[in-house]
Amino acid sequence: MENNGHQPGKLLNLSGAYWETCTLHAAVKLELFSIIADQALAAQEVARRGNADSRATAMLLDALCAMGLLQKEADTYRNTRDARTFLCKDSPRYVGYMIMHHHHLVESWARLDEAVVTGKPISPLLAHDEDIRRESFLMGMFNLAMGMAPELVPTLDLAGKTRLLDLGGGPGTWAIHFCKHNPQLKATIFDLATTRPFAEKTVAGFNLAERINFVSGDFHKDAFGGPYDVAWLSHILHGEGPEDCRKIIRKTAEALESGGKMIIHEFILDDSKTAPLFPALFSLNMLVATDAGQSYTESEIRQMMENAGIEDIQRTAYRGPTDSGILVGIKK
């Protein structure tokens, strides 16, 4: 007889995994890790500095200890090394903005069943401040890219390339790192006007304003300018349906000169669409958040590139922390 005695426990642990998620989200939102910083503080002091209830704060801090994010010494709490590195706002490797972006998605994910029934995204019932949501997303993407770019950018050969298009480049992190690594390169960030202030401030902070400009536009409607000899599309396609992806890739190809290089960075599914796990789950994230977005397979992206006149398409060896990958091709 088959023994499934451990299966209920595994399923219940999976079902309740959001408890840990919500614990982390609450601690980041209340900035508890930043309050503790390099100190050892009692729960009452953390609560006082965070304008929170002492008893409830102690319960939250104890749970964070159980999760391995804090250490308790007598009646005081300290950050672990990882918490100090990634969860304190004064750390250059802070990931709290992306955690808050995830927090803003929780309500929609809790109604995933509705999205599956209707095939439409979920409109949140709770009114999150739009400026806070935008800041969390932009800063989250900036910090993630800042962590990835130093490893990824050197793997891409842009020798002889002088004009880069960073399509949907947001805060400009990738354009900045491509220009830092390739002294001959100038870049154009193409994104919505709402992104311009953050991008220009970031570029100026790296003293690259003379080499990186910002063009405001909607990549569905507006021309990209050019010609460019390299185009970088990082995490653009998953927000769009297949037809819009084909149009975006075609427009990008039209903005490239002959021999220009197209580089696509995406969460890439296996052809079965059942792996890797993160891109498979990310498709559901796009289901609840967008009208037609999804993760795509390598074959699907390759076909879109080929249809746009891109050839010699290669997948690089790069694998990102969330199973992102790189496809590179050349315009005929």
Which active-site residues does the annotation give? Answer: 238
Residue 88: enclosing H or E segment and its boundaries? Answer: none
Q: How far apart are the first and last CA of the chain?
A: 62
Q: Which stretch of DSSP H or E encloses residue 320?
A: none
Q: Cα torsion at 206, 207, 211, 214 (round to 10°)?
A: 60
Closest CA to 174 of 251, 265, 254: 265
Bond from prior residue into 227 cis (ω within 30 degrees of 0)? yes
Query: Are 298 and 305 spatial neighbours (Cβ–Cβ below 8 Å)?
Result: no
- CA separation for the pair 280, 283 (Å, rounded): 5
Q: Which token pair is 274?
A: 């059942």
Using an 8 Å Cβ cutoff, are 195 and 168 in contact? no
The C-alpha angle with vertex 47 and arms to 127 and 68, in degrees rounded to 5, equals: 85
Query: Which residues, in sequence order, are bridge partners of residue 329?
Result: 262
Closest C-alpha to 176, from 148, 135, 146, 155:
146
Hey, how many other C-beta atoms are within 10 angstroms of the C-beta on 212?
25
Map tokens 């991008």 to a residue: 199
Residue with tokens 């999804």: 294
At 126 the three-state DSSP class reads coil
